[in-house]
């Protein structure tokens, strides 16, 4: 065994490309101001590694798709503000055509703020309430086209034949169909799916759109998503923005998967641009590739500069198979969606947008559920209606991680297994590990984090006093390493703001732990184990000195089975799993911690059935394997293990003696012993490398 000390244990898609019109020549100065504001808001211009922890800053926005204004206001106050979301993208707020389908919102009738989302007064109330808790509002602005057909809009306005409250036939391009996306003129002058295409090069149209945007900014709207931007010439958008007051954030929908006449790079002079390649390539990699490929994700993959990109795992279009869809991952993919979002939020590229969807039950045209999200005292999330992905713990925790690592806009200490296990740091600000393998990630990972115990923010939150975590904790050793043990398809994320500050001894984490070791034995033979944490490893990595205070490498236990008259005397005063033989007040004939013989079935030929429940040995319901499985059943303090793992080695008294060296796979550090998991049922075979771990 690695450690054996004999001393007793001691206690301790529409415009022709043209030159910038003269009337907008002053726009160049203004656009620099807009873009600078955008990047600062998005936390995208940070470089280098700060030595001082910066205050958390909002770095992520959420698309509350088809939420009404009252629901959004409540969500800002109850969740988004406290959780640190930067902003909400809301559905188009202006008058649109009648109908329940989601896309009716993208067929404008007028610019009155009367829509399925609510009234103008409700919209203003929402903006004010969200701003009061630090959450900005970004409006999805549909300015490329107007509604198709004829009828009455949601505010009562009539429309048809290119006649609308704000526009007449003279304000539109002549009707034509886009059938060739390699033809720039066609893409920017013809009609996107038969929607009347506004002549955005017209001074009147530009001013009318600017008036609408100015109305929104005067209310307090902080930014805009420009729908169908590639169907408008960049110069037209510049001219419109030159007439808009203030410096709102702008991000433009430009679906660019390559091979077309119009590219997303053209639009970066106006503001941010949606990077659809990010969504499809991330989906391809998480579904069919290797996460190890992601070490240079972003510009290294031919994407937009980070400072110009809005990124997302999915959006309202491509999750329905529209708008540049590919191998897109959505809420329907469960844990895969969790892990993809964790990567997006942890990796320093772009301004991330989290999607918050509803279940459309296979009908890609279906509108939102009829029931509100905040339904009286009930929250209608996570079921068959509203999905509320922004509240999922891995996604919300990922946002928290990004907010607390924005002062280190680099990746450091990248590690991968060559396949689907990865880990990386954000300097001294944070560290994340993702496991998409069919086996646990067990490795010693180098970090730049300060030693200590941290809250895994994907699974819990740091208490207000900083002294405890509501979920899983991760320990950074004195040398900056983490002895990782990440379960199948799981992840952890720790950051500088989630370090437990208590100087008190760690809180005990007592869990029932069972070990079975199979060994063919005979009457008069008994099995003992010794174990704990390897001395050299603990001294080097955990800041312990087990040579002088050997209890530091031992693990506190309490025996659950004292019914076996043979082993009960050895269990008395056996308070630790340790490397040292009999404890000071334990029966001195004990060779360590005793086990009890068990079987899965007691043959009738053996006479009266013996059971561990009555006799302390014999049949036991946890033994599903067979005869001669020696069993240890204890309550163990998991806080004294190495991220839930510990070593054991078996000894058969009056028989085989000690086991030889064991070469078990996927251990947290090099060991020639069995490695068990605290809080689990562990099955080993004497002198073999196999292991089976089961939940209770």
Q: Tokens at residue 344, please?
A: 């997006």
Secondary structure of residue 10 in the 3-state scheme: coil
Please identify which of the residues 253, 256, 637, 685 carries the catalytic annotation: 253
Compute the distance between CA of residue 527 and CA of residue 519 in angstroms, rounded to an integer: 9
Compute the distance between CA of residue 85 and CA of residue 136 in angstroms, rounded to an integer: 9
Q: Tokens at residue 518, please?
A: 């199979």
Q: Tokens at residue 35, please?
A: 């873009």
Compute the distance between CA of residue 369 and CA of residue 126 in angstroms, rounded to an integer: 20
Catalytic annotation on 620? no
Please identify which of the residues 114, 140, 191, 227 carries the catalytic annotation: 227
Catalytic annotation on 552? no
Count Cβ atoms within 10 A of the Cβ of residue 581 and give its class: 0-12 exposed, 13-18 middle, 19 or more buried. buried
The C-alpha R_g of the chain, in whole angstroms, comes to 32
Rounded (10°) angle between helices 393-403 and 335-346: 0
Q: Tokens at residue 451, please?
A: 């030693």
What does the DSSP assignment read for 309-331? EEE-S--TTGGGT-SS-SS---G
Beta strands in 544-610 (DSSP E): 555-559, 576-577, 593-594, 596-599
Decide: 234 and 270 in contact? Cβ < 8 Å.
yes
Rounded (10°) angle between helices 27-42 and 234-241: 90
Report in angstroms the alpha-carbon separations of 389 from 158, 308, 340, 385, 511.
37, 25, 13, 12, 32
Enclosing H/E stretch for 211: helix 203-219
Compute the distance between CA of residue 90 and CA of residue 116 in angstroms, rounded to an integer: 12
CA 577, 583, 586, 588 dihedral sign is positive
Secondary structure of residue 41 in the 3-state scheme: helix
Active site members: 227, 253
């Amino acid at each position: 065994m690695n450690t054996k000390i004999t001393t007793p244990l001691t206690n301790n898609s529409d415009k022709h490309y043209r030159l910038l019109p003269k009337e907008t020549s002053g726009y160049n100065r203004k656009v620099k101001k807009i873009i600078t504001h955008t990047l600062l808001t998005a936390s995208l211009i940070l470089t280098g590694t700060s030595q001082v922890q910066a205050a958390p800053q909002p770095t992520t926005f959420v698309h509350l798709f088809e939420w009404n204004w009252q629901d959004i206001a409540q969500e800002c106050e109850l969740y988004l503000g406290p959780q640190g979301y930067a902003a909400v993208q809301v559905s188009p707020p202006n008058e649109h055509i009648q109908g329940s389908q989601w896309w009716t919102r993208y067929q404008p009738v007028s610019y009155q703020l009367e829509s399925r989302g609510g009234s103008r007064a409700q919209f203003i109330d929402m903006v004010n309430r969200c701003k009061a808790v630090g959450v900005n509002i970004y409006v999805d602005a549909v300015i490329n086209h107007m509604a198709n057909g004829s009828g009455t809009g949601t505010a009562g306005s009539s429309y048809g034949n290119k006649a609308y409250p704000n526009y007449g036939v003279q304000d539109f391009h002549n009707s034509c169909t886009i059938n060739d996306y390699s033809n720039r003129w066609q893409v920017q002058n013809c009609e996107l799916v038969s929607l009347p295409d506004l002549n955005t090069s017209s001074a009147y149209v530009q001013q009318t759109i600017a008036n609408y945007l100015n109305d929104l900014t005067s209310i307090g709207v902080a930014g805009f998503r420009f729908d169908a931007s590639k169907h408008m010439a960049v110069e037209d958008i510049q001219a419109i923005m030159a007439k808009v007051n203030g410096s709102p954030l702008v991000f433009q929908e430009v679906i660019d998967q390559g091979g077309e006449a119009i590219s997303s790079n053209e639009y970066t002079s106006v503001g941010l641009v949606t990077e659809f390649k990010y969504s499809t390539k991330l989906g391809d990699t998480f579904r069919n590739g290797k996460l190890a490929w992601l070490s240079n994700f972003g510009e290294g993959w031919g994407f937009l500069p980070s400072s110009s990109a809005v990124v997302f795992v999915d959006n309202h279009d491509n999750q329905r198979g529209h708008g540049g869809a590919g191998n897109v991952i959505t809420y329907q993919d469960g844990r895969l969606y969790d892990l993809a979002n964790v990567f997006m939020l942890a990796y320093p590229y772009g301004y991330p947008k989290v999607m918050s969807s509803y279940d459309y039950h296979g009908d890609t045209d279906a509108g939102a559920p009829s029931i509100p999200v905040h339904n009286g005292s009930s929250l209608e999330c996570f079921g068959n209606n509203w999905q509320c992905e922004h509240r999922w713990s891995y996604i919300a925790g990922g946002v928290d991680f990004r907010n607390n690592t924005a002062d280190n806009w680099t990746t450091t200490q990248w590690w991968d297994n060559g396949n689907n296990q990865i880990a990386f740091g954000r300097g001294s600000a944070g560290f994340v590990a993702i496991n998409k393998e069919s086996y646990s990630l067990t490795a010693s990972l180098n970090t730049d984090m300060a030693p200590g115990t941290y809250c895994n923010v994907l699974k819990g939150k740091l208490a207000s006093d900083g002294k405890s975590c509501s979920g899983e904790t991760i320990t950074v050793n004195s040398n900056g390493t983490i002895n990782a043990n990440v379960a199948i398809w799981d992840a952890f994320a720790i950051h500088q703001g989630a370090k437990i500050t208590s100087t008190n001894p760690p809180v005990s984490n007592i869990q029932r732990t069972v070990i079975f070791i199979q060994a063919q034995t005979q009457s008069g033979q008994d099995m003992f184990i010794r174990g704990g944490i390897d001395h050299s490893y603990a001294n080097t990595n955990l800041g312990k000195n087990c040579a002088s205070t050997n209890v530091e490498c031992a693990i506190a236990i309490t025996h659950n089975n004292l019914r076996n008259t043979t082993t009960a005397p050895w269990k008395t005063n056996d308070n630790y799993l340790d490397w040292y033989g009999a404890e000071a007040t334990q029966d001195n004939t004990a060779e360590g911690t005793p086990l009890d013989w068990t079987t899965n079935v007691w043959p009738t030929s053996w006479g009266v059935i013996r059971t561990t429940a009555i006799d302390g040995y014999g049949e036991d319901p946890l033994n599903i394997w067979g005869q001669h499985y020696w069993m240890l059943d204890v309550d163990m303090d998991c806080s004294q293990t190495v991220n839930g793992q510990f070593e054991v080695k078996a000894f058969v008294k009056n028989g085989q003696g000690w086991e030889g060296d064991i070469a078990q796979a996927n251990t947290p550090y090099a060991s020639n012993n069995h490695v068990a998991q605290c809080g689990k049922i562990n099955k080993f075979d004497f002198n073999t490398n196999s292991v089976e771990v089961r939940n209770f």
